[in-house]
Amino acid sequence: LKDNHKIDCTLSGSTGITCLFHGDDDILVGNVGDSRCVVGGLDSAGALYTKALSNDHKPTDDEEAERIESSGGRITPYMYEGQPSGPSRVWLKEEDMPGRCMTRSFGDEVASSVGVIAEPELTSFKINSTDKYLLLMSDGIFEFMEDDKVIDLVHTWQKSGPTPRELSRKHVPQARRQWY
């Protein structure tokens, strides 16, 4: 991104989540930021379950915060009229920028100057016969809906036969209603 002079990545970046299927039942999950991967299914008793396969990289995580602060960054919520508003964010030491809610991203030059890194966290997972759903979604969904709720909605909606794309699009209005 930095080498492409058509893209100004001074204050822009992104998070990312990906899965690599290998072997018969192994998944390798790579995560940068606060996008999330969860698996869900039905256990032997027929109860719906959810398991997170990634960790959110947020300023509230002690190890992530230590890296930011040791790199000269500051972690506080946005301040409005002297009062904290919203989640903890990453800022420059003496300036109210960039204000990122995540501690890992790629492409953001200002945030990277205070310890926001693009190094993915990798986790491995074995699929089993009861796993039915694998979801990779951004914080736009998971910030407003718990993992269990997202899997529950997919489980309920899939009974009417929508495609995976249609299922994912149904989550946006659900999350938007939670936001307001």
**If you ran DSSP here, which 8-state letter would residue 159 be given?**
G
pLDDT of 94 strictly over 80:
yes
State pLDDT tens for residues 75-84: 999 999 999 9
CB-based contact 15:139 (threshold 8 Å):
yes
The residue to which tokens 């192994």 are assigned: 26
**Which amino acid type is present at position 106?**
F
DSSP string, 51-93: EE-S----TTSHHHHHHHHHTTEEEEEEEETTEEEEEEEEEES
pLDDT in the model for residue 175: 73
pLDDT of 180 strictly over 70:
no
